[in-house]
Structures are given as structure tokens and as C-alpha cells.
Structure 1
Amino acid sequence: MNRSVKVFAPATVANVVCGYDVLGFAVNAPGDEVIMRFRDDPGVIITKISGDDGRLPYDPAKNTVSVSVQHFLNHIGRSDVGVEIELNKKMPIGSGLGSSSASTVAGLFAINTLMDSPLTKMELVPFAMKGEELACGYGHADNVAPALLGGFVLIRSYEPLDIIQLPFPEELYCSIVFPQVDVPTRDARQIIRSKILLKDAVVQWGNVAGLVSGLYTKNIDLIARSMKDVIVEPVRSILIPDFYRLREIAMEN
């Protein structure tokens, strides 16, 4: 059994414009790094956090990494195990790149490795969702699932959890622009309307289906045509200065 392990988990893009809470993909970089070691005393502790400007808690009951790790240990019947966690943040918090998800996933993969991998990566997803629940009030999977599994994923259902890995064109690439705006996920979720018009839902369903079809058929034009959101984007866009100008530039290039 290993005594220590270092794990990197990538940033992710959730929603993918039209797929709110059901679509996401991982990118190669940036990402977060977790170093985890066994300790003699039982329990999960955090010994060091870097790159967060002092914003993240050391309290194991309030940090997404330690909370998820403890849920994992309880699940496998090893709450007697003791580990210490060192978290190195390598992406901005509140950047829309799945910052909390990357940390949580790195921690879960680390503890699973230390315990000789009793669970598959797919089986780790529900524990990562516990971290998201702590971070933003709802255990969504569209960041943690691609961070764990890589590539594109579709969350077909949450109850029961049904995650599908999607193919995608190899020539597809992602350009990331960070406008130095901090938008916490909890705040971004709270402003979304609880009721929507049926005509908007129909447009959204068509775009989600078109995007998934475009990924399967490697139809770049269809993917581009499907990248429209008539439900969430009109509300959330107010949180990002010059959002529509930035989107226009991106679509033109």
C-alpha cells in the first residue's frame, strides 16, 4: 500500500452553453493538485493550502476535498483511516472552470489510490458530488464527472445517476478566456428562474440533442449551430461584463 500520492485533476467546462447541469467536458490545463499521505491518527486533516489567497477553509467539515474524502472512507468502512491533505490551487476560484470540482476530484482519486482502488472512477462521482453540494448547495455532476472521466460527458439522469461518456471530434479545441471576474457558483445558481416557457424549453431540447448528435457524427457545423442557450445565459450574462461582445468575438474567430 502506498504511503503518499500526488494527483492532478483538470479544469472543466460545465453546461457547454445549452446543457445546463447535464453536459460538461475536461480540458488539459489548468487544474489543481493534491498531495495526500497516511497519518497514524484516524481522521482527515488539511495541512496546507496554496494558491487560494487564504480563501479556502482548513476546517475538514467545511472543505470540499476533506468532506468528500471522509464520505468515501465511511462508505468503504474505513473511517478509522487517517490522512493529511495538501491542496495546491492552480486555477482561480470562481472562474467558471470547476475550481472546487478539480480539488475534490483530485482528493478522491488520491484516497482511492491510497486504498488500493476499491472503487472505479465512475463510482467515485457520487462522492465528488458531495463536495459540490457543500460548495454551491446542489450536488451537480457536470464538472466532477468530466474531471474524473475525461472528455465529454452527458448526465442523462440524476436519480438514478446515469452518466454517459460521449465521443468528440479530435480536432475540436477549447479557448479559455478569464475576464478576472469572480462569479461563485452558488450565486450564479440562485439567479436562475425556477419556471421557464415551454417554447424556450423546446428550443433548448433541440440544441442539446443537436450538440450531442454533432459530437457523435463529428459535425462541427452542427455543434456550432447548437451552441445556443435561451434559458440560463440570458440571466447569467449580467454577471459578466461585456459578455455578449466577448461571445461575438469568439463566434467570429
Structure 2
Amino acid sequence: MSRNEIRIFCPATIANVSCGFDVLGVALDSVGDEMVIRKVPEKGIRITEITGQDLPRETHQNVAGVAGLALLAESGSKFGFEIEIHKKIKAGSGIGSSAASSTGAVWAINELLDRPFSPLQLVKFAMEGERLASGVAHADNVAPALFGGFTLVRSYEPLDIIPIHCPDQLYATVIHPQIEVRTSDSRKILKTHITLADGIKQWGNVGGLIAGLFTEDYDLIGRSLVDYIVEPIRSILIPGFDKIKSVSKEAGALGCGISGSGPSIFAFSKGEAKAREVAEKMTEVYQSIGIDYDVHVSKINTQGIKILD
């Protein structure tokens, strides 16, 4: 029997993953939003409740509403949907707040319609929410949220998403300084041209990171987590970034970088114990300079969105 209501967990995500600007992302297991979606007779989408953040409830101004409408425009559905959003991911934190809402909406609506669309099609619908949030319909957050684990956006035209193997002992530490960096603003400061030398180094690191993930070569993963193009520019917006990166590596992190457009900073480690040691060193930096923060230690979420009882 078809369901008329579903409650889901929508994971936070790390996008770019240092060297993979707009093409690499990974889902986290310990932090994410919760959403409740109901199928109703009246057509269209209504945002009935938002907790945790002060976000617009108007359908066309909310990323979940916009993504859901994109799906309904191609579904031919005679039903409408009500959406509750319980935000646990802070907007502007750099760990995929808008992506969680967008992907949660389209995934749940697809489930309630008995799955007429493939995961790849759902990515395209969710990207419309990202377009509203940042001005660019990028997929490096929504893809891992939907597929789980690491994903590579091999192509945008046509859209081609490649799931990437994840080593079992890979853990993420993410620290979020309590400042906001809007994705739309952080994109404006990026260069539109790069040198061939920087491009060659960056492509090598993307290839190295993918190879390291598939072969479970943790040292290769660490050597490849270097960004020559975006990080040098965006890091100036994040207080204490260089120090956080330095102490994380000293504590044994494989590598460290900016999560999405910032201001969150991520580090990958082999094993949970090491990831927690890295978290301690990260927090010491912000405590010393008087910046409030949130910190998360998480195993990689290889499932993506999950149904909650």
C-alpha cells in the first residue's frame, strides 16, 4: 500500500573536497536535517513548518519548494505535497544546508509517487534548489546526499554522476566557525581563468584522490587533498584557516581543506580515534582566538538519505 507521509534524514555534505571544485562531494553520517513530506489532494507544494532556522516558507523562495516544483513539473502527478523542514544544518555553514533541503524534498516526493524518477533525474531537480541558493545549479552537494558516499560529477552537459568507493576507516572532522559565508558571495571572488601549471597540478590531485579512494590508499588520499585554485582565494574569508590546517596535519589528519564555500573546514583521518584528536586540536585554535564554533566527527554516510521511523 502506498504511503502518504514519510519522515527522512537528509545528510550534510562536504563539497569540492579540496581539489574537486564543483565536481566532488561526500555525505556525512552524524549531522543532517530531518524532513516530513505528506501527499495531499491539492496540487502544488506548501512549506508548512520550518524549525531551527529562519528561512522563507514561500514555495518559490525556498529551495525545497523550488526543487519539488521542478519534479512535479515533469511528473504529471495529480497530487500535491506539504513539507516540514527541521533544520540541523545551519544555513551558510558550508556543509550543504540548501542541498539537504533540496534533495530531501525530491527524494521523498519520488518515494511517495512510487519512484517514477531515477537518482540521476532527482539530482537534476535538486540542482534547481541550488540554483536558487547560490545562483549556480551545481551538483557536488546534492549528488552525495542522494547517492551516499563520494560522488564525482563527471559531466554537467549531459549530467553524469559517478559513485566513488569509500574506504571503511575514513572519517571526517568538520569545524564550523560561527560566521556566515554565503555561497553566492564566495563564488564572486573566484578567478575565471587559471594557469596551465595550476590546472595540471589540480587534475593530478583529482585523479590521485579518486585512485586513493578506490584502492584504499590513505597516504595517496592525503597527498591528493591539495587545492591550488580555489582554497588560496577563499581561505582569506575564514579566520584561523591556516592554523587549523596546520594543527590538523600535526595531529595526524590525512588532509584538510575548505568544506564547500566555507566557512567550515574539514579534515579526513584514518579511524575515528584520530578524527577526534584532530577535532580537539581544531577547537583549541578557535578557543584561543575567541570564535564560537560547532564541531562534528563523522563516518562517511554511504547510504545517503534515510527513512526515519
Which residue number corresponds to residue 187 of structure 1? 185
Q: How well do the aligned residues superpose, as a CA RMSD in angstroms?
A: 1.0
- Contact conserved, 1:26 with 1:150, CA < 8 A, in 2? yes
Which residue number corresponds to residue 35 of structure 1? 36
- Contact conserved, 1:42 with 1:81, CA < 8 A, in 2? yes
Q: Which amino acid aligns with 1:34?
A: M
Equivalent residue runs for 1:51-200 within 5 Å: 51-52=52-53, 54=54, 56-78=55-77, 80-200=78-198
For 1:18, what is the secondary structure of its paired residue?
Answer: coil
Gaps of 5+ in 2: 252-309
- Contact conserved, 1:7 with 1:109, CA < 8 A, in 2? no
Structure 1, residues 88-142: CA drift from partner, whole Å, max 9, x if none?
Answer: 0011111110000011111111111111111122321100111101110001100
For 1:173, what is the secondary structure of its paired residue?
Answer: strand
Q: Which has the higher contact order (CA 8 A, sep 6+)?
A: 2
Q: Which amino acid aligns with 1:171?
A: Q
TM-score, normalised to structure 1's length? 0.96
Which residue number corresponds to residue 18 of structure 1? 19
Structure 1, residues 63-87: CA drift from partner, whole Å, max 9, x if none?
Answer: 1101111110111112x42211111
Q: 1:241 deviation in Å?
A: 0.3
Gaps of 5+ in 1: none
Which residue number corresponds to residue 233 of structure 1? 231
Which residue number corresponds to residue 221 of structure 1? 219
Q: 1:29 deviation in Å?
A: 2.1
Q: 1:176 deviation in Å?
A: 1.2
Q: Which amino acid aligns with 2:68?
A: V
Structure 1, residues 28-50: CA drift from partner, whole Å, max 9, x if none?
Answer: 02111111112232211111100
Kindly indicate whether residue 9 of structure 2 is the aligned counterpart of residue 8 of structure 1.
yes
Which residue number corresponds to residue 261 of structure 2? none
Which residue number corresponds to residue 243 of structure 2? 245
TM-score, normalised to structure 2's length? 0.79
Distance in 2 (CA, whole Å) between partners of 1:119 and 1:82 is 17
Distance in 1 (CA, whole Å) between partners of 2:230 and 2:73 is 36
- Contact conserved, 1:44 with 1:66, CA < 8 A, in 2? yes
Structure with greater strand percent = 2
Q: Which amino acid aligns with 2:212?
A: G
Count of residues in correspondence between the two structures:
250
- Sequence identity (%): 49
For 2:221, what is the secondary structure of its paired residue?
Answer: helix
Spell out structure 1 runs of 4+ moving beyond 6 A. none
